[in-house]
Structure 1
Amino acid sequence: MTQTGVFVQRLGQFLHLTDAPPSLITRSLRGVELAVTETRDDNPVPGLSGSFTPEDAFLVSLKLHDYPDCELWENGKCVMKADVPAGATYLYDLKTDPRYVINKPFHSLFFYLPRSALDGLSEQSRAPRVDQLACELGVGHDDAVVRHIGATLQQGLSRPDETNQLFIDHMMLALTAHVAQAYGGLRPDNKANRGGLAPWQAKQACERLEADLGGKLSLEQIAAEFGLSVSHFSRAFRTSTGLPPHQWLLRQRVKTAKQLMSVRDLPLSEIAISAGFANQSHFTRVFSAVVGVSPGAWRREAQGGPESDT
């Protein structure tokens, strides 16, 4: 089992969950695994949460459910009680054995950030190492960025088959960079690596993405082909193409689907798979959002005749 797989298992045990919580994993910083995990129990068995084995890592938690009068523990002792509102962001240092009393329904997102990932981000940003994150027990933050990233990743957690690796890599990299800057004082060298990719790099990168419409390739794999860090490659690719890699890939899937729909007798379900979508409903949802009409409606208009949406 991988390091993050172990963490997800431990998080389930920490919260006394009977089933493994849904998770998305990335390895976009030095190959170190990061994860986002959604945890929920509407009828928990009352008692003190489990305990994490101390490690040099942090948890960032976005609360999705109010949790009033929460009894908080640290280093084996009850420290305080605090009201935990939905929408707030909390940071935990896993070296201090954070725990709490579970006695009411809970629903949260947890982002797992190992120290080595923060070190990798500092290195890629050409910035001094982040010594510590602002982990103050019971102190919640009104963080609109974490809420936005959390809401976006929650959609991916609910539809893992439709979530491509480039999207996971991009969102988790953005989350890590934001946390490092907002709570760790990271100050990246914004003057460095401002430009886009060289024309041959942009062409080759687009060809690699187009050859993998299913989105199995990671940002780390593609960036490594050019000897670039993930953060530099992502920024430069967006400068060159106008879109981050995962959004460029979605547009390419739509373009491919349009080409395939020129074949009248090809079912939309088959086109969906051929163009890299997980299924027909995924295809319809993305195509409609990008183009403004459903695939069936687009094909009817393009071919000038009646056609069903199947």
Structure 2
Amino acid sequence: MLNATLTATTAPAARSKDSLGCLSNQLGRDLELDTGEFKFYRKSTVDDQASAVAMHGSDRGFLIGVSLKPGHRRRIYSAHRWTTHDFSQDSVYIRDFADDYKADLQRGFDFVLIELSRAFIANACYERNGSNVARLATLAGRNDPTLGHFAQILSLTLDRKSEASPLFVEQLGIAVGTHLLDQYGDTACSSFSKTRRLSSLQETRAKDMLLAKSQGSVSIEEIANACNLSRSYFIRAFRETTHRTPHQWLLEQRIDRARDLLRNSDYSLSQIAIACGFSDQSHFTRTFSQLVGTPPGTWRRQAAG
């Protein structure tokens, strides 16, 4: 796995590789979502066939892998010695692409991976406290339930890319980056000023911007700039003020609008889905059922008495 080339070859050199250097014919699942600022991947092997990977350093940034299941093992060469790491579910590795990398992947894997640019880490540090240090600790095999939770969400998002809200994906990337800086960032980067609430004007402006854009296409950066805040600070302050993330708040507003239309109009479910900013009726039904506890058609019949 990883952005790598196989060091031992008996098969033809022309075998195709994916965007991270994995041999495509060894992957049972190969999904990618490129937002421009973050890249998310889901990579899993067909079987437990071993492979060796090696790559030279580059300026791509950092790669974070989160294991979705136990059983993977890899030997990594670093500081003139080999170390072996076993991965359980929620085990994590962090790679700095600037460093040369060499590893034996001894068993199959199922990983969600997050690629963050060095510029993203530097900007996130600067937003926190004016430091432009861009370093994360490199590690392998450490258990991190929080990243494990993010990975589960990302795996579902990758499976349903067509339904993924840009606003939600942006928030998820920022949340992952914030956690990484908190837990594994350089000391100069890991501190963050105490969260504050939005002012009434900022709260109103943020909510108006969220509601004004259809399909969640407004970005956190746009809203944060309008409030004269950094993105990370804005998300924390919005959550402190509303007890919701911007995406959660927007979903609740759409569901409230949908309930009003279900009760007071004869629109079809597909018409209501589009009117309320959902990608299609299926997406609307799933979201409504999750938040309300019953499908929209059933809710409409019950509301009609």
Q: TM-score, normalised by structure 1?
A: 0.81
The aligned residue for residue 4 of structure 1 is none
Displacement of 1:104: 4.1
Structure 1: gaps spanning 5 or more residues: 1-8, 28-32, 305-310
Letter in 1 for 2:24: L
Residue 87 (structure 2) aligned to one of 84, 89, 99: 84
The aligned residue for residue 23 of structure 1 is 32
Paired with 1:114 and 1:234, the residues of 2 have a C-alpha distance of: 20
Residue 137 (structure 2) aligned to one of 134, 153, 163: 134
Structure 1 residues 81 and 268 mapped into 2: Cα distance closer, same or farther (>3 Å)? same
Letter in 2 for 1:89: V
Tell me, yes or no, if the aligned pair for 1:14 and 1:50 is still in contact at 8 Å.
no
Q: Residue 134 of structure 1: SS of its match in structure 2?
A: coil
Q: TM-score, normalised by structure 2?
A: 0.82
The aligned residue for residue 70 of structure 2 is 66
Tell me, yes or no, if the aligned pair for 1:219 and 1:230 is still in contact at 8 Å.
yes
Displacement of 1:88: 0.5
Residue 100 (structure 1) aligned to one of 93, 98, 103: 103
Paired with 1:176 and 1:121, the residues of 2 have a C-alpha distance of: 8
Letter in 1 for 2:209: R
The aligned residue for residue 224 of structure 1 is 225
The aligned residue for residue 113 of structure 1 is 116
Paired with 1:34 and 1:52, the residues of 2 have a C-alpha distance of: 22
Letter in 2 for 1:161: S
Displacement of 1:41: 2.2
Q: Residue 64 of structure 2: SS of its match in structure 1?
A: strand
Displacement of 1:69: 4.5
Paired with 1:131 and 1:117, the residues of 2 have a C-alpha distance of: 8
Tell me, yes or no, if the aligned pair for 2:118 and 2:134 is still in contact at 8 Å.
no
Tell me, yes or no, if the aligned pair for 2:17 and 2:23 is still in contact at 8 Å.
no
Tell me, yes or no, if the aligned pair for 1:213 and 1:253 is still in contact at 8 Å.
no
Tell me, yes or no, if the aligned pair for 2:33 and 2:40 is still in contact at 8 Å.
yes
Paired with 1:12 and 1:245, the residues of 2 have a C-alpha distance of: 32
The aligned residue for residue 10 of structure 2 is none
Q: Residue 59 of structure 2: SS of its match in structure 1?
A: coil
Tell me, yes or no, if the aligned pair for 2:77 and 2:83 is still in contact at 8 Å.
yes
Paired with 1:212 and 1:10, the residues of 2 have a C-alpha distance of: 39
Paired with 1:201 and 1:133, the residues of 2 have a C-alpha distance of: 32
Give deviations 1:202-226, integer Å, cap 9, x for gaps.
2222122112241112111221223
Q: What is the Cα-based RMSD across aligned positions, in Å?
A: 2.7
Structure 1 residues 227 and 10 mapped into 2: Cα distance closer, same or farther (>3 Å)? farther
Displacement of 1:119: 1.2
Structure 1 residues 286 and 116 mapped into 2: Cα distance closer, same or farther (>3 Å)? same
Paired with 2:136 and 2:197, the residues of 1 have a C-alpha distance of: 31
The number of residue pairs the alignment matches comes to 286
* Range with bigger deviation, 41-50 or 264-273: 41-50
Give deviations 1:212-264, integer Å, cap 9, x for gaps.
24111211122122332111221222233231100011101101211222355
Aligned-pair identity (%): 29
Displacement of 1:53: 5.2
Letter in 2 for 1:120: N
Displacement of 1:131: 5.4
Paired with 2:267 and 2:134, the residues of 1 have a C-alpha distance of: 57
1:42 matched to 2:46? The reply is: yes
